[in-house]
Structure 1
Amino acid sequence: MAQKEMLGTSLEGINPTYTYKVVLLGSTSVGKSSLAYRYVKNDFKESLPTVGCSFFTQTLNLEVATVKLEIWDTAGQEKYHSVCHLYYRGAHAALVIYDIANKETLNRAKLWLTDLEKEFLPDEIVIALVGNKLDLAAEREVTTEEGEEFARTKGLLFMETSAKSNHQVNDIFMAIAQELLQREQEKAHAPSPHGRSTVTLGESKARTGCCRL
């Protein structure tokens, strides 16, 4: 569950602040660090491979709440794979990232997803599949439809991004934040008569259409 504190914002009432841990997973060179740097600093930086883990923070002042994202950028090299679970333990959300111009990175992303499924109960964590490096569309090896279909079968958020051109970088983190807030609201209310799960509630907005937030 997210850390929560109450902050007075105006005479109209009190808005909550939620702090969420978000981990970035994927093979080396798929652009995890560049994606985080673009989102937090609004700049593009070609990064050397991450050693261990890097840490970023970003605050979103939304209408219903303030959301603080603690973004953990994990190393993608195979030699760090066995210890990466130490970094994503306790995470509220994960971005599983692949390079659209490198089919093998999607296969590796599927292995990261398997790791998450071992670590977390179903619906315990919000997961987004992210096809990065859309600026390399001319060299594409993974079609948008292939990424969408895999995300759909697993109940994941899905979006294609480019850290270099800043395409939909803010959108994917906003989709994560909105999904986390939606789950907070659902926990605060009694289950609906239809007994719909959080995955079902999010599907129409996020699974198939989050690219257009």
Structure 2
Amino acid sequence: MVKLSAKCIVAGDTTVGKSTLVQLFQSDGSHFAKNYNMTTNVDLSVKTVHIPDSGNSVELFLCDSPGKAIFYELTEKMWDQPSCVCLVFDVTNETTFNSCSKWLQRVRSKTSCPHLPGVLVGNKTDLACRRAVQKEHCQEWAENNGLEYFETSAKEMENYELPFQALAKAFHQLYQDRVESFKSLV
């Protein structure tokens, strides 16, 4: 049994639901913050994800980052050498989706790894009548940027665990690929 550790940067504009998604995942859906407190520094949460059919697990260190630009300089040191990235946007706000390019560029600039596993998460799907960004457009953008796409509703506690499970699986696969690569050298 192998237990891996991965630093996951959770990034996106303010009020998209990053902290709520992390809190729901970390607490297995038992904690939904009814009162919103703006994140002003990197909040660190840890959650172990078991990888099916392997006996292995990945301990995700979730670095929940503030979305306001004024806090970026304070938090960017915590972003050094990320293992994976989770970009979150609000499906009812096109500006938050458009900002994902900027967030992805910032995170990728902090790693020397050529392949950084990542997901794009469209949150607030419970507000379907106010949707401003179409799912197909999000899927295409994610694919073009080497990310997996997920839609969630933190408020309705729908699919909040799927992006993080996918990140753990992708990180584990990257590890497995490296092990196989080293074995082939011997």
TM-score (norm 2): 0.89
- Is residue 45 from structure 1 mapped to residue 33 from structure 2 by the alignment? yes
Give the Cα separation in 2 of the matches to 1:96 and 1:142: 15
- 1:125 corresponds in structure 2 to 116
Deviations 1:62-94 (A, max 9, x none): 342022111111111120123332121121011
- Is residue 161 from structure 1 mapped to residue 152 from structure 2 by the alignment? yes
Give the Cα separation in 2 of the matches to 1:128 and 1:167: 16
Deviations 1:90-125 (A, max 9, x none): 210110111000000011111111212322346442
Aligned partner (choices 10, 14, 17) of residue 28 of structure 1: 14
Aligned partner (choices 82, 85, 90) of residue 76 of structure 2: 85
Aligned partner (choices 149, 157, 178) of residue 187 of structure 1: 178
Residue identity matched to 2:159: Q
TM-score (norm 1): 0.78
Helix, strand or coil at the partner of 2:37: coil
Cα distance change on mapping 1:117 and 1:68 into 2, 3 Å: closer
Alpha carbons 2:81, 2:110 under 8 Å: kept: no
Percent identity, aligned pairs only, is: 26
Helix, strand or coil at the partner of 1:131: strand
Give the Cα separation in 2 of the matches to 1:117 and 1:58: 23
How many positions carry a matched residue from both structures?
A: 178
- 1:4 corresponds in structure 2 to none
* Larger RCO, structures 1/2 (Cα 8 Å, 6+ apart): 2
> Is the deviation greater in 48-57 or in 58-67?
58-67
Greater fraction of residues in strand: 1
Give the Cα separation in 2 of the matches to 1:19 and 1:158: 23
Give the Cα separation in 2 of the matches to 1:59 and 1:117: 24
Give the Cα separation in 2 of the matches to 1:182 and 1:123: 15
Residue identity matched to 2:151: E
Residue identity matched to 1:94: V
Q: How does 1:60-209 map to 2 (within 5 A)?
A: 60-62=49-51, 63-64=53-54, 65-121=56-112, 123-190=114-181
> Is the deviation greater in 55-64 or in 176-185?
55-64
Q: What is the RMSD of the two structures over their aligned residues, measured on CA atoms?
A: 1.8
Structure 1 stretches lacking a partner, 5+ long: 1-14, 192-213
Residue identity matched to 2:12: G
Query: Which is greater in Rg?
Result: 1
Give the Cα separation in 1 of the matches to 2:128 and 2:113: 33
Q: Shift in Å at residue 127 of structure 1?
A: 1.6
Structure 1: 4+ residue segments shifted above 3 A:
121-124
Residue identity matched to 1:22: C
Q: Shift in Å at residue 17 of structure 1?
A: 0.7
